[in-house]
């Protein structure tokens, strides 16, 4: 085995505590991105199942779009991925960082 070869896990723990593998991730042609699916992709990247570049290529995402999902999870958990509340959570986070 080569020293610089990265070993990837075959399964990571998803946002709801379930095991995620490449087969159980949302399909590459996903058009409707609900909170759970976004969180699964973020968890897959965080757990090393996919790289950011692979996730963006597989799901036709921009780096900025994926980064916004990642920030949403880091700041507010799964609720941070809700598009209808994104401005509310962003304002709350900015207020907390001002003081």
49: in domain? yes
Q: How far apart are CA 59 and CA 18, in angstroms?
A: 21
Query: Could you read off the pLDDT of 37-94 as tens digits, one per residue?
Result: 999 999 999 999 999 999 999 999 999 999 999 999 998 888 888 876 555 655 666 6
Domain span at residue 61 reads 34-91
Q: Does the pLDDT of residue 98 top 70, yes or no? A: no
38: in domain? yes
Q: At 41, which CATH number?
A: 1.10.10.10
Q: Average of pLDDT values for 3-24? A: 88
Q: What is the pLDDT of residue 6?
A: 74
Q: What region, left, alpha or beta, does residue 95 occupy, with left being phi > 0 and alpha being psi -120 to 50 degrees? A: alpha
> Do residues 63 and 49 touch, judged by C-beta distance below 8 A?
no
Scan for tokens 């959570």, then name that residue: 89
Q: What is the pLDDT of residue 1?
A: 46
Give every CB contact of residue 45 below 8 A, 6+ residues apart in sequence: 51, 52, 55, 66, 70
Q: How far apart are CA 88 and CA 42, in angstroms?
A: 21
């Amino acid at each position: 085995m080569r020293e610089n070869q990265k070993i990837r896990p075959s399964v990571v723990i998803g946002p709801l505590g379930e095991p995620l593998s490449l087969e159980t991730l949302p399909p590459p042609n996903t058009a409707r991105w609900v909170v759970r699916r976004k969180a699964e992709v973020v968890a897959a990247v965080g757990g090393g199942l996919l790289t950011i570049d692979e996730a963006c290529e597989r799901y036709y995402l921009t780096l900025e779009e994926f980064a916004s999902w990642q920030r949403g999870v880091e700041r507010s958990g799964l609720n941070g991925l809700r598009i209808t509340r994104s401005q509310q959570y962003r304002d709350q986070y900015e207020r907390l960082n001002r003081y």
